[in-house]
Chain A
Amino acid sequence: MSDFDSEAMADAGVENPKLPPHLELRRTRVLCKADAPTSTDTVQYSGAYASLGVDNSLRFDDFRNNFRVQVNRISHEDMEFDMVGVDPSIANALRRILLAELPTMAIEKVLIANNTSVVQDEVLAHRLGLIPIKVDPRLFDYLSENDTSNEKNTIVFKLHVRCAERGQRLTATSNELTWLPKGSELLKTSESLTSTSKPETYTSFTCSQDSMPEFAGNPISVYPDIIIAKLGFGQEIELEAHAVKGVGKTHAKWSPVATCWYRMLPEVVLTEEIEGKKAELLKQKCPANVFEIEDLADGRKRATVARPRACTLCRECIRDGDDWEKRVSLRRVKDHFIFTIESTGALPPEVLFTEAVKILEDKCERVISDLS
C-alpha cells in the first residue's frame, strides 16, 4: 500500500496522531478487488485503535468541521447532492426515512358507483392508489380509526367517464379525476331510508376545502396523464376516491419518492505509470470512459484518471490477469455519499430531505422523553 496518496485523505477527517497509512486506507476506503470488495465495514468503536494511541471517537466539533454538502443538480422533482463526512448509518437512516416514513396523501378508499370496464374494481382501486397527489401532506392530519372523514384529513376526487361513441375507445387518464373540495357527493343509501334527517354522505366536511387559505386559488391536483383504464363503447366508470395521509411503511403508494439512493464516491488510482499501448488499452477497456490519455513532453503517452466519478465499478479495467489489478486500484470513499432523491411530486426534493432529517430528530427526542 505504498501508493497511498495523502492528498485525497486530507478531507477524510484525519486524527492526531495519525494512523499508519495502510490502516487509514482501510478505515476510510472500500477496496474493490477483482474477486470481491474488502474493508467494507466502518470502524465505529471509539477504542478500536486504542493500542496505537489513536482515538477513533468522533467529536461533534470534528464532525462540524468536516461535514459538507454540495448540490450538483436540483429541479422541482429530482436532485443530486454530495454529502461528505457522515457515517453510512446516518446516511442510510435518512434514506430509509425518505422511502418509508415520510407521509404523503394517497387514495385509500374508493367508492365505486358503477364500473363496467374490463378493469376489475379492486385492480382499479389499486391503480388509483398509486397516482401521486400534488399536495403538501403537512397541511393534513392522519385519519385514525375512530375519526370521521373531514376536511382536515381527507381529499375527495370524483371520476366519471363513459365511452359514448360507437366504435371508439376512450382512455381515462388521471386528468379526469376532479377534486371535490366540498367532500363526498355520494349519499349513504341505508341511512336515508331509515331517518328523516337530511341525507348523509361518506364524509362530513364542515367547510369547503377551497375556502381554506392554503387551497384558495391553488386547487389540489394529481399527477397528470397517467392512464387509469381504457373503455370500449358503452363502458362507464363512476367512482369517488378518498385520499388520506399515510407513510410508505404501510404501503408504497404513500412513499414520497419515486426512489432515493446513494452511492459512495468512486476513487480510481493508478498505482504505477501506465504508458503507450497499455494506456490505450486501459482507456479502451473502460465503458464509463474514466481514463484519458495524456501527451508527455517527450512524446510518450500516459494514462490518467480523468473522470473517476463516472466509474460504475464494473471492474472491467482490472480483469485480464493479476497485473492489471496491481496497476489500477479501485476504491470507494466510505464517508462520501452521492445522494439522489426523485420526488413523486407532492413536495420538492430539497424539502423532502429536510423533513426526513426532522423525522430522525423527532425519533431521538422521543427516546429522550421516554427515558426521562
Chain B
Amino acid sequence: MEHASFGDQRNATFALAEEDHTLANALRFTLNQDPRVIFCGYSIPHPSEARVNVRVQTTGDPAREVLKDTCQDLMLTCQHIRGTFDNAVKDFRMKNPPDDLTSQDMDSD
C-alpha cells in the first residue's frame, strides 16, 4: 500500500483501500498540523473504486512514521472528543432530569 522510491523515505504515497473523504480529509488536516510535514494531500483516483491515495512529504523523517504518528494523534483527538461529549451529555442529564420520560413511553409502545 505504500509507494515510495528506494532510498528516499521522506516522500511517499499511501493507498488506503476501502476508505474515502471521511478518513482522508481528517488525516490531511492532522498531517498538515505536524511541523515535520512539508506537503500532504489526497486524491481519489476513481469515484467507483473504494480507494484513496494520501501523499506525504516530510522534512526528513520517514513518511511512514509520520503518517503513523498522525493516525495516533487523530485517535487521541477522537478519544478526547468522545470523553468530552460523554461528560457533556452527563452534565446535561444532571441539570435537566429527564422530563421526556413520558414522551419516551408514548413512543415506545
Contacts and interface: CB of A to CB of B under 8 A. Distances in A.
A162 to B, nearest CB: 25
A44 B28 contact: yes
Nearest to B31: A44
Interface in B1-52: 1-2, 14, 16, 19, 21-23, 25-29, 32-35, 37
A93 B104 contact: no
Contacts of A47: 35
Contact of A364 (B1, B71, B88, B104): B71
B89 A357 contact: no
A305 B76 CA distance: 38
B80 A64 contact: yes
Interface residues of B, number: 48
A133 to B, nearest CB: 14
Contact of A357 (B35, B64, B85, B107): B85
Contacts, number: 133
Contact of B22 (A86, A101, A134, A354): A101
Nearest to B93: A74
A74 B32 contact: no
Given A357-B85, A371-B68, A93 B25 contact: yes
A94 B77 CA distance: 12
Contact of B26 (A81, A89, A101): A89
Contacts of A45: 32
Given A86-B77, A90-B77, 5 more contacts: A74-B93, A100-B22, A363-B23, A367-B16, A367-B23
22 contacts: A42-B29, A44-B28, A44-B32, A63-B77, A69-B85, A69-B87, A69-B88, A71-B92, A76-B100, A76-B103, A90-B29, A90-B77, A92-B22, A96-B22, A100-B22, A354-B85, A360-B26, A360-B74, A363-B22, A367-B27, A368-B68, A371-B71
